[in-house]
Chain A
Amino acid sequence: MSTIEFSEEQAMLLDSAREFAKNESSIDLVRARLDDDRAIPASLWRSIAELGWTGIAIPEAHGGLGLGFSHLVPIVESLGRQLMASPLIWSSIAAHAITLSNNEVLQTQWLPPLANGAIGAVALMEHGGNWNLSAPACTATHDGNNLKLSGTKVFVEDASIADFLLVSVMLDGKPRLILVEASQIDPSQIKREVVIDETRRSFRVEIDGIQIPITNLLGEVDFEEIELAAMLLLSAEMAGGHASTLELVVEYLKTRKQFDKHIGSYQALKHPTVDILIGLEASRSHVYHAATSFDKDQGDSRRLAVRMAKAVSSEGMAFAGDRAIQFHGGFGFTYECDAQLYLRRALWSQQQFGDEVHQRTLLAPLILSKAS
């Protein structure tokens, strides 16, 4: 039986994160940051760390709060509402991977700093756009006590400011994660990519020739676990963005006049806007259900909850963004109209880890084989 649990603590986090994001990430600030090298200023990231959000899901034994991803979700949703692109998602995924990695040395070395705001990047994707994470073309080969890396990673967010990268490679026929410290990479190996969501900083990373001590190898990690954790947070971020997209549309429909009537009185615009609303209600419901399931359940029910959330939030926000452009008419066609910021955000997140069609393909055998 599906449940949604939401504690007082989560409610407080939701409130304070909304307030914080409103103040620190107004749409003017979002636009002003588009041309910076960093997605958000270092000082703002420090504030986020000081609020304790970077340590929320990190175990208490390693300097975090040990509250789980279910408590990260309301924060990420709130930042998503304001289109903030912070390293919070990926640093949290990096911490999750290290926590599960069975490598106590790396845990001791990196989890406490991550809880305090160190930045971790995660390099999983490669050229070709394949969503299957467990068969990377990048490789590591043994070289004495070292591992020698080779290949190219793409879509690595925040690589230029990260304290370390977790890189997926094939080693001895198995996919593995290796921790590469910033000092072990030459800055020339990190190249900015042009991506659809301009609030993000995404990089191509050449790992050819990098030599890493074998002690930086994480224990065997289930790549689907990394994928689920990332999809949960991305879905939360999209549910937030979906809400603001709806707000933008409703505001315009209530103020813009054509033929002496507010355009929101036309059913051709009103009814699809109601579809955006219903999509939002569905998206948030799935996200908070997935958050509950992620921390509580195991196996297929967890998989189902998170993949459904990713499917529903992707489809929902992409639809909202698409209609937001159309309903703004000629203004919607301009860079100046904020609708494009939301559509770009939606498309980026939709493509990360698989869009709704991909999710449904993976869900089919899980759902159709047994009574739901």
Chain B
Amino acid sequence: MSVSKQELDEFRQEASAWLEDNNPGNPGFLLPESFMEVGTDQQFEYLRDWQQKVYEAGYLGMAWPEAYGGGGKAQVFQDIVTQEMARQRVPFMTNTIGLNWAGPLILQRGSEAEKQKYIKGILSAEDIWAQGFSEPDHGSDLGSAQVRATRDGDDYVINGSKIWTSLGTYAKYMILLARTSSDGPNKYAGLSFFLAPMKIEGVTPQPIRKLTSEFGFCQTYFDNARIPADCLMGAEGEGWPVAMETLMFERGNVGGQAGGIAMMDVNVNDVLELARRSTRNGKPALDDPLIQDEMVQLLIEAKSNQLMVLRSKIPALAPDYQGAVAMSGKLRGTELKRRFCQFAIKLQGADGARFVSKEAIDGGKWQRLYFNSFSATIGGGTSQIQANIIGERVLGLPKS
């Protein structure tokens, strides 16, 4: 499908104008920065309505097949919309797990019936999706998951609990990794993958209060919850590769996502902008040479991350140690974000001690961002686990 540059330019203008006209704007309360931070019904409804509006205007799932509710257009159209969303900083698409990992997974390996059943609801935000991978005792070590799924007639009976279930109280479905056997040759062999209903007896999402004092995710308890056997995706005992495939979508290693921004982009230039308007101890913060130096260090590091990506694309300048840049991306990116949020608080002088409230600088956004930034340095494998992985797989150091 070839599209002329003129057509794309016109489309960009049209999409940009639509976003400008329809941006829901400031709701009068502090919005979450990502789907992991949705804590109140008010926030959720605002974001769900926004996603629905975007979808109905034809700006979401543009490259997904028309037969299931997508737009059936070339990917490039969706990419343009996503870029414009980021540029205009409109709110993110809240059904993130559905749009970015469950959806593409179902499109790739689901049955016709599954595609008919699930895809449209993902796009319209009518059916919210959650993820059931991590468990209280198995965070970074996902392969050891212990939630049991026991076959009983036409059902599987689920017992145990999953944690960090974002949108848990709103979700209709969950991608669930559960253990159907403990007798396999290794821990991965007994795992199975389900597209599980959440609104059934025996499933209790219990909201957890985060360090920000907000609610944003749940611990989900399964107490003899019966789900139909046809919820199984892939064969019984072969859930691990499906989970890995899901992670490929989650990490953006492969395409196929519905598009739209998944979180509000906050970067080091926003901190620089804050620094320019901040006062510390009665003087412009940037007049302090120590603050200046710290700001410059953060900007250099952000630049390093940007340049590493550029260089690793040049084969002759590829790293001595293969995978060094790609595999350290999460570690570098999330740690840098944590540190610049920390620095943003430091810029505020005594006001740094405020929290989400009218009196706080930017409504307390930076304090909340800093606390929430730990979700990325901890989730998806802690920074310490990342360092182990890089040391072992990239440098070839012996296992810890």
Task: For B296, list chain A residues within 8 Å (CB).
Answer: 360, 363-364, 367-368
| B308 adjacent to A367 (CB under 8 Å) | no
Query: With A277-B321, A285-B310, A288-B311 given, is the CB distance from A262 to B398 under 8 Å?
Result: yes
Interface membership of chain B positions 309-335, coded 1 if the CB is closer than 8 angstroms to chain A and 0 otherwise: 011101011011100110010011000
Q: How far is the CB of A117 from chain B (nearest CB, A)?
A: 27
Q: Which of B303, B312, B388, B394 contacts A277 (CB 8 A)?
A: B394
CB nearest to A4 among chain B residues: B310
Given the complex, which residues of A lie within 8 Å of B272, measured CB to CB?
368, 371-372
Task: Confirm or deny: A14 has a beta carbon within 8 angstroms of a beta carbon on chain B.
Answer: yes
| Cα distance, A3 to B306, chains bound together (Å) | 10
Interface residues of B in 242-284 (CB under 8 A from A): 269, 272, 275-276
- Nearest Cβ distance between residue A362 and chain B, in whole angstroms? 10
Residues of B near A264 (CB, < 8 A) are 391, 397-398
Does B111 have its Cβ within 8 Å of any Cβ on chain A? no
Mark each residue of chain B from 36 to 73: 1 if its CB lies under 8 Å from any CB of chain A, else 0.
00000000000000000000000000000000000000
- In the bound complex, residues from chain B placing their C-beta under 8 Å from that of A253 are 397-398
Which residues of B lie under 8 Å from residue A331 when comparing CB positions?
none
What chain A residues lie within 8 Å of B292 (beta carbons)? 364, 368
Closest to B293 in A: A360
Which residue of A has the minimal Cβ distance to B273?
A371
Does residue A357 face the partner (Cβ distance < 8 Å to B)? yes
- Contact status A271-B332, CB under 8 Å: no
Check A254–B397 contact: CB distance below 8 A: yes
Most chain B CB within a 10 A radius of its CB, from A267, A278, A285 = A285
Number of A-B residue pairs, CB cutoff 8 Å, is 134
Asked if B316 and A10 sit within 8 Å, CB to CB, the answer is: yes
B346 smallest CB distance to A (angstroms): 16
Q: How many residues of A contact B (CB 8 A)?
A: 44
Q: Could you tell me which residues of chain A, from 277 to 335, have a CB within 8 Å of some CB in chain B? A: 277-278, 280-282, 284-286, 288-289, 308, 311-312
Contact mask for chain A residues 320-353; partner B; CB cutoff 8 A; 1 contact, 0 none: 0000000000000000000000000000000000
Q: Inside 8 A of B275's CB, which chain A residues have their CB?
A: 368
Hey, which chain A residues are within 8 Å of B391, CB to CB?
A: 264, 270-271, 273-274
Are A4 and B400 touching (Cβ within 8 A)? no
Separation of A286 and B289 alpha carbons in the complex (Å): 24
- Complex-state Cα separation, A371 to B302, whole angstroms: 13
Supposing A288-B317, A360-B293 touch, asked if A270 and B387 sit within 8 A by C-beta, the answer is yes
| Chain A residues positioned under 8 Å from B332 (CB to CB) | 278
Q: Is the CB of A312 within 8 A of B387?
A: no
The reply on B76 being an interface residue by CB < 8 A is no
B128 → A minimal CB distance (Å):
37
User: What is the bound-complex CA distance between A250 and B320, given in angstroms?
Assistant: 13
Partner of A265, one of B303, B306, B324, B398: B398
Q: Which residue of A lies closest to B391 (CB)?
A: A270
Q: How far is the CB of A10 from chain B (nearest CB, A)?
A: 7
Q: Which chain B residues lie closer than 8 Å to A367 at the CB level? A: 295-296, 299
Interface check A154, CB cutoff 8 A: no
**How long is the Cα–Cα vector from A3 to B314 in the complex, in angstroms?**
11
How far, in whole Å, are A280 and B328 apart by their CA atoms in the complex? 12
Q: Is B74 an interface residue (CB 8 A)?
A: no
Tell whether A258 is near chain B: CB-to-CB under 8 Å.
no
Residues in A229-268 with C-beta less than 8 Å from chain B? 243, 247, 250, 253-254, 261-262, 264-267
A2 to B299, CA, bound (A): 14
What does the 1/0 interface line of A122-142 toward B look like (CB < 8 Å)? 000000000000000000000
Distance of A235 from chain B, by nearest CB (Å): 13
CB proximity of B189 to chain A, nearest CB, Å: 27
A-B contact pairs, 15 of them (CB 8 A): A6-B314, A6-B316, A10-B316, A11-B316, A254-B397, A261-B398, A264-B397, A265-B400, A266-B400, A277-B390, A282-B304, A285-B307, A285-B308, A308-B300, A367-B296
Mark A residues whose CB is within 8 Å of B: 2-4, 6, 10-11, 14, 243, 247, 250, 253-254, 261-262, 264-267, 270-271, 273-274, 277-278, 280-282, 284-286, 288-289, 308, 311-312, 357, 360-361, 363-364, 367-368, 371-372
